[in-house]
Amino acid sequence: MPRKDRLFDLVQILRDGRLHRAADLGARLGVSVRTVWRDMGALAASGLPVEGARGIGYRLRDTTMLPPMALTRDEIEALRLGIALVAGASDPASARAAATLRAKISAAAPSRAEEPGSDSFVFASAEAARAAPHLALIRRAIRDHLTLALVYRGQGGAQEHRLRPLHLDNWGQVWTLTSWSETTGDFRIFRVDQMESLGPDGGAFLPEAGKTAEDYLARLVAP
């Protein structure tokens, strides 16, 4: 069983608030007592109010337990975006709470809910905050190969593009989208914070030679 799935199962067992011995937890999960000790340490480090010790047992204390919920991939994405926005708040208490909540979700979520870069959201500037509303759509469009309709605020004013989103990058304060513009017939990089509007146009695409992120990178390093 992947560790993230096991941590998720541990949290579900401890939801009842009763004391559970490490040996009993290990027997239920099919792992050693030492593995349970390490897992409980990981849960405690993530901010969960774990109470107990080796040889005594473990339980969750002073916590609000939500009922089991089935979240879609898009709902998890929205949750992470919201947490990341709060993590960039000027209020230290809110930022700390967002950080511990993010760690709890990462520890408890099954591994199948994780995607490359899902915890990479950083919101430390006004530019990043303006980009935030578009990020979930962009990530979904990259994942599902959906074409997007974009109105972009460039130096020459508003520009309209139909594009294939290829790769999303974060540069600390600014998010950029590498794409293939069907409008100009070439690669374009857009700052996400300068997107006036963005939405699916009902189309989809398949990776095509000469129009992929790898092709763009190859062009950059070509002599």
Helix (H, G, I), strand (E, B) or coil at 157: strand
Counted domains in the chain: 3
| 93/144 same-domain check | no
Tens of pLDDT along the chain (223 residues) come to 778 778 888 888 887 778 899 999 999 999 999 999 988 888 887 767 788 877 888 887 765 556 666 777 777 777 777 776 666 555 666 667 777 777 777 666 665 555 443 444 444 567 777 888 888 889 889 999 999 999 998 777 888 999 999 998 877 678 899 999 999 999 999 999 999 999 999 899 999 999 999 999 888 877 6
> By residue range, what is the domain housing residue 196?
126-221
Residue 176, in any domain of the structure = yes
| 10/47 same-domain check | yes
Residue 211, in any domain of the structure = yes
| 79/11 same-domain check | no
Q: For residue 203, report the phi and psi dihedrals to the nearest 5 degrees.
A: -105, 170
Global confidence as pTM: 0.50
Buried b (16+ CB within 10 A) or exposed e, 112-136: ebeeeebeebebeeebbebbbebbe
Residue 92, in any domain of the structure = yes
Helix (H, G, I), strand (E, B) or coil at 81: helix
Residue 119, in any domain of the structure = no
